[in-house]
Each structure stands twice: as structure tokens, then as C-alpha cells.
Amino acid sequence: MKRIFAFTLTLLTIFGLSSCSPSPKTLTLIAHDSFVMSDDLITAFEETYKVELKIVRAGDAGAMTNKLVLTKDNPLADVVFGIDNTFAPVATKNNLIDGELTPIDFADVSFNYDLEYFKTNNLAAPKSWRDLIKTEYKGLTVIENPNTSSTGLAFLVSTYAGFPTKTFDSATPTVTWWLALRDNDVKVAASWEDAYYTDFSGSSGKGKYPIVLSYSSSPADEVNEDGTARTKALLEDSFRQTEYVGVLKNANNPQGARDLIKFMLGQNFQSELPGAMYVYPIDKSVALPPRWAVYAPAATSTIGENLDIDTNRDKWLADYNRVFDVAP
């Protein structure tokens, strides 16, 4: 999921990656922009498995998956981290993965709001994401483009689950709700990073939008020195997003990729996930930071995970793109 980088890496272009042939002792991991792996963990992995780990970031999860589809005959890396349950069917359909995708972490896609904004403006915060079409929230919300953002796509799925209907046509309650949200001056950002760190008023970016599509765990990163919270999440009817790691077909170092997957399932890597990327470890025996019980509770209800995303993806995105006039 989503946090700032722990260290800086040299940027590599797709073309540069495609033309390189890593040595057998090199393992290349491709991940979304929010992937974080500490220097200590990298060193531990490299020393344990006698391999040099190179990490390439390739945009949000959707953009990354699309790049992998376009380059599947000459893969950009040996192993991929960050394909989630909204984009996993794309990976399967395009035969990107050697074997199966392995779950590593999960988080609940939820709206966050800036507590100070609502206090200062004497405005009651929304109780549900369904409230965001109300006039009192006009121009206050930023979301992510589901064509490229896994967060945006997760919420798109939630809206179809949230207004159940037997058919998915342009007259559905979901599309009607999206039209109302558009007319309420919602902003559509390209990525979670843009929405959260640039547009959201409750984060370091101090943007102008006090409501952002993010995660139920995000408020744990927005706490004042005195322990008071700066933001809060809406916990009803969220989408539970699971992130996977997988060996890419035609990888130069498939054994190294399998070693990394084993390492990511280990206690050391799993225990750093909450602090590094603000996600829940897939290993539920791992203890969570104490503050998470207060600031980062899991959603009270989740919806949409049982829908057939792969079958309906193109239709849902086409309707969305018509409503918001955005390109895939």
C-alpha cells in the first residue's frame, strides 16, 4: 500500500530495464511506488541468500500491472510486489506469473478526513462514503483514477457492491451516484500518492481537500506529538485490499524470486509492514503497534471482494470514464 520512500533509488526507464540482462547473482524486484523495504531488511536478505537486490518502482499498482502486460515476453524484473486483488485477474489472464501469487499484506480502502478542517468550519463529518454527494461536502473530496490506481479501482468496486443490482448498465444506481459525486466537484487524482500527499489537507502536503480516498490505517501516521489524532477514517463498507508477490514468467533469476517470497513471509519482514507501509501483515500472529488499536482499526464492514471484477472491469471503467471524462 502507501507510504513515503525509506530510501532513494536510481530511476530506471522501461527501455533501459528491457535492454539489461541481470547477472545470475542479481535479483530485480518491481513494485508500486509506495513499496518500502528498509536498508536493514535488504541487507539481511542479500546476506542470507548471497544475491544483490535491485528495486524498481513502476507507478501505482494498476500502472505497474499494465507495464508488466506490455513487457511480459521480456519482463522488467524477476519478481513483482503489489499486484492486488483488483488487478490479480489481469495478471492471471495475461499469464504473467510463474506459479501463483502469494498474499503478503492487506489493508482496508477507506475515506479519511481532516479533523481540524471540520472542527474549524463547524461542519459535521460524513458518516459514510455515500454522504459525499451531499451539498455540504461540495468540493471537499479527492479520489484516485481507477484506470491506474488500485485504491481507486477498489473503491469503484465498492460502489457497485454498495448499490446492488442484477444488471450493470448505464442507468444503475451506482452510475447515478457517480454522476452526483462528479457534480459535487470531486477531484480525480492520478495516484494515491498525488491524492494523499499533495491534495489532502490532513497530510504533509497540506492540500485543499479535507476528504481523501485512502486506508483505515492511514490515520496512524497522522498523530500529533501530544497523541491527538489529526485524521480519522470512515470504517463502514470499505474494500479489503490484499497485496501479492509473485515470480514473473521468463525471469532471469526465478530461484532468487522464490527466496524473496519466502523472506517476505518471514517474521522480520512481516513485522515491519505496519510501520513501513501502514498495512496489516498477512501473518496474523505478528503483533501490531499498540497505537494501531486507537488510530488504525480495521474496517467495521467490507464489501465488494466477492464481485466478479474481471468480468465487469471493462464495463465499469468505461462507465466511470464517461462520467468523469478521464482517459484509461
pLDDT, tens digit, for every residue of 48-83?
A: 999 999 999 998 888 899 999 999 999 999 999 999
Q: Are 314 and 202 within one domain?
A: yes
Q: What is the value of pTM for the model shown?
A: 0.81
- 328 vs 263, which has greater pLDDT? 263
**Portion of the chain with pLDDT greater than 70, in percent:** 90
Looking at the structure, do residues 159 and 59 belong to the same domain, yes or no? no
Please answer whether residues 252 and 22 qualify as being in contact, where contact means their C-beta atoms are separated by less than 8 angstroms: yes
Element (H, E) at 52: strand 52-57
Same domain, residue pair 126 and 223: yes
With bands split at pLDDT 50, 70 and 90, how would you rate the model's confidence at 10? very low
Same domain, 190 and 310: yes
Q: Are 136 and 157 in the same domain?
A: yes
The Cα–Cα gap between 125 and 74 comes to: 49
Residue keyed to cell 522488467:
76
Residue 121 pLDDT:
97
Judge contact between 216 and 298, C-beta under 8 A.
Answer: yes
Segment 301-316, tens digit of pLDDT: 999 998 999 899 999 9
What CA–CA distance (Å, rounded) separates 319 from 146? 12
Asked whether the predicted pLDDT for residue 24 surpasses 50, the reply is: no
Say if residue 134 is in the same domain as residue 227: yes
**pLDDT value at 274 more than 50:** yes
Are 97 and 232 members of one domain? no
C-beta atoms surrounding 37 within 10 Å: 22
In a domain, residue 248? The reply is yes
Instruction: Tell me whether residue 254 is exposed, middle or buried, using C-beta atoms within 10 angstroms of its C-beta: 0 to 12, 13 to 18, 19 or more.
Output: middle
Residues 114 and 101 in one domain: no
Domain coverage including residue 252: 14-106+241-292
Q: Return the pLDDT at 59.
A: 83
Q: What is the pLDDT of residues 76-112, one digit of tens each?
A: 999 999 999 988 999 999 999 999 999 999 999 999 9
Does any domain span residue 4? Answer: no
Q: What would you report as the CA-atom Rg of the chain, rounded to the nearest whole angstrom?
A: 20
Task: Look up cell 477507506; give the residue.
Answer: 110
pLDDT band at residue 19 using 50, 70 and 90 as cut-offs = very low
Tell me: do 310 and 169 sit in the same domain. Answer: yes
- Please count the structural domains in the chain: 2
> What are the strands, taking DSSP E only, across 94-140?
102-114
pLDDT value, residue 293 = 85
Q: How far apart are CA 13 and CA 74, in angstroms?
A: 14
Residue 52 inside a domain? The answer is yes
Q: Is 303 helix (H, G, I), strand (E, B) or coil?
A: coil
Looking at the predicted structure, is the pLDDT value of residue 172 above 90?
no
- Same structural domain, 194 and 251: no
Question: Are residues 250 and 206 part of one domain?
Answer: no
DSSP H helical ranges for the chain: 14-19, 39-49, 61-70, 88-93, 115-120, 150-162, 173-183, 192-194, 254-264, 267-277, 292-295, 309-324
Residue 24 counted as domain residue: yes
Q: Is residue 2 part of a domain?
A: no
Strands 79-84, 141-144: parallel, antiparallel or unpaired by DSSP? unpaired
Q: What is the pLDDT of residues 179-203, one digit of tens each?
A: 999 999 999 999 899 999 999 999 9
- Are 125 and 232 contained in the same domain? yes
Domain holding 222: CATH number?
3.40.190.10
Nearest of 296, 145, 288 to residue 235 by alpha carbon: 296
